[in-house]
Structure 1
Amino acid sequence: MSEPKAASLLAQSIPSTYADVPAKRGALYKQVLKRLKNNKRSLLGLWMVSLFIFIAILAPWISPYDPLEQNMDKLLQAPSLSHPFGTDEYGRDILSRIFYGSRISLMVGIVGVVISVVFGVAFGTIAGYFGGKIESVIMRVTDIFMAFPGFLLALAIVSVLGPGMVNLMIAIGIFSVPSFIWITRSAVLSVKNKEYIEASRSMGAKHRRIIFKHIIPNSIAPIIVLSALRVATAILSASGLSFLGMGAQPPSPEWGAMLSAGREFLRTAPHLSIVPGIAIMLVVLGFNLLGDGLRDALDPKMKV
């Protein structure tokens, strides 16, 4: 099942349990945490994600070498005690580059998703809450963007803006916005006609207060799920763009760029590509497991 479809189904099911009783939200959150703790796959994903975040934060202190320091006496060395993951074609320590590369990959993934959430939730809420011509315009534009494969759309945006980290994050953010618009609109449509919303309107509450006080808080569950899943997609897409030379530029220790540089040495030094490839696989797997666990935990139809 695709990410938007899974989150959309969650958006339709959550309001009946979570949004109808705002006063009991604290107790419901405890139940969600209990479900999350009992899900072994989500805990594994959480540990994996936490490990990479820990590595990214402490990279300057735990890296044994400077990731950009070249040593022509140690070119293409195999893994050893002094260099656990070996060295690359310039004698740089791969372990140190992997540690620093986690900073880049996580930053691109998280910042890209934050951009998507901000614009996706804003437009999705406007479309779902106000409806009419505004909704038609927003959703038709969204349909046009969704007609393009996400990676190709990001590639086209980077091609226009030019390679670089900032442009890469913008591209990743833009190509994920349509999914958040659809999910947010679906969630808003499910809650905007609830009794407590009608009570707020009858008491003279303004649209802004209703949206920020009731609509968005009670539509947040599917957005959280999609965000976790989208971080994995963003990291994978960013690595793919860097692999093609459209993302982080040398000598930046970005995993996709490292993977691209290592393909020329697959026969003589396969560790140049294997190590960053495994790093990408593990962080993407971690976010996917965490996202699946959040989806199950936030679904009121699931049993503990």
Structure 2
Amino acid sequence: MMRFPVRYPRLAAGLAILAAVMLVAMVAPFVFPFSPWDMRGAPFIPPGSVEFPLGTDALGRDIAAAIAHGAVVSLLIGAVSTVVALGIGIGFGGTAGYVGGHVDDAVMRFTEFFQTIPTFLFAILLVAIFSPSIISIIVAIALVSWPPIARVVRAEFMTLRQREFVQAADVLGVSHLRIMFQTLLPNALPPVIVLASLMVANAILAESALSFLGLGDANWMSWGFMVGAGRSVIRIGWWISVLPGLAIFITVLALNLIGEGLQVVLNPRLAGSDRP
């Protein structure tokens, strides 16, 4: 266990940063037991004061409280939308890879239809149609994120379907659902896990972009909204946009490091590429 950070420094660094972000999100309601929308002081207080260590925005709202509460929204949307996308992608990809034939062709054509639409524009359209809310944002991000998962799972299932242990289970009369989810899926998970960590990062970026454009949930403070709200006063209050932007950068960096680290851990042939 002590050799883990030495052998996989990217994964260790990513996990440490992500743990810090999650800790901020968990303690936010206790450290800042008030609404991040409340006006707590004078406008444009620069970072460094005792009462407002990260300053205030144009309306006197506490930037530190907003960033802490925004971490909850970013992590929640990133995690839940990825789980939903995984469910859709594994369902479609697993069915296509296991059944094959006309079912495979139909599922792949359906998947390609989603991939021909610009993902972010499609997400904007979905959120605008269903009105901005946490649920609509999660659904929109999930619906534009599942095709890569489906393709990876399909490829893994098609490869594993020819293995002896799968054919043996089929001969023994094991049901197709059990073969798919108890035999094939566990063996197909390594690349899916790596892709899922990157999808969380993309989901956080997508949510931030939607909030920046004014399509976020008005009842929840988010990092993207903060960046958008501060862009018009960037010359006199740079910290209003820069600090939440830095939070987005750090979180996405952590998730990308985790993805790269997991790729090395789950593929021993790449172990040398993660050495310091």
Q: State the distance in 1 between where 2:249 and 2:150 align.
A: 28
Deviations 1:242-263 (A, max 9, x none): 10011222x6320000110001
Deviations 1:42-65 (A, max 9, x none): 111111111111111121122376
* Aligned match for 2:121, one of 137, 152, 167: 152
Q: Which amino acid aligns with 2:184?
A: I
Q: CA deviation at 1:277?
A: 0.4
Aligned residue runs from structure 1 range 116-195, under 5 A:
116-195=85-164
Q: State the distance in 2 between where 1:124 and 1:149 align.
A: 21
More off after superposition, 56-65 vs 148-157? 56-65
Let me know the Cα RMSD of the aligned residues. 1.8
For the 8 Å contact 1:36–1:294, the answer to whether it is kept is no
2:250 paired residue number: 282
Where structure 2 has 5 or more consecutive residues not aligned to the other structure, the ranges are none
Secondary structure of residue in 2 paired with 1:301: helix
Q: CA deviation at 1:273?
A: 0.3
Count of matched residue positions in the alignment of Structure 1 and Structure 2 = 271
Q: State the distance in 2 between where 1:269 and 1:276 align.
A: 13
Q: CA deviation at 1:186?
A: 1.0
Deviations 1:140-182 (A, max 9, x none): 0111111122212211211222211110011011100111111
Q: CA deviation at 1:86?
A: 0.3
For the 8 Å contact 2:93–2:149, the answer to whether it is kept is yes
Deviations 1:197-246 (A, max 9, x none): 01111111110111122011110111100000000000001100110011
- TM-score for both structures, normalised by structure 2: 0.93
* Aligned match for 1:61, one of 16, 30, 34: 30
Q: Which amino acid aligns with 2:235?
A: R
Where structure 1 has 5 or more consecutive residues not aligned to the other structure, the ranges are 1-29
Secondary structure of residue in 2 paired with 1:41: helix
Q: State the distance in 2 between where 1:292 and 1:152 align.
A: 28
For the 8 Å contact 2:43–2:57, the answer to whether it is kept is yes
Q: CA deviation at 1:37?
A: 5.9
Aligned residue runs from structure 1 range 224-303, under 5 A:
224-249=193-218, 252-303=220-271
1:38 aligns with 2:18: no
Q: Which amino acid aligns with 1:113?
A: T
% identity of equivalent residues: 35
For the 8 Å contact 1:36–1:293, the answer to whether it is kept is no
- TM-score for both structures, normalised by structure 1: 0.85
Q: State the distance in 2 between where 1:110 and 1:100 align.
A: 16
Q: CA deviation at 1:265?
A: 0.7
* Aligned match for 2:183, one of 183, 206, 214: 214
* CA spacing shift, 1:34–1:150, aligned 2, 3 Å: farther
Q: State the distance in 1 between where 2:34 and 2:130 align.
A: 34
Q: State the distance in 1 between where 2:174 and 2:262 align.
A: 32
Q: CA deviation at 1:266?
A: 0.5
Secondary structure of residue in 1 paired with 2:270: coil
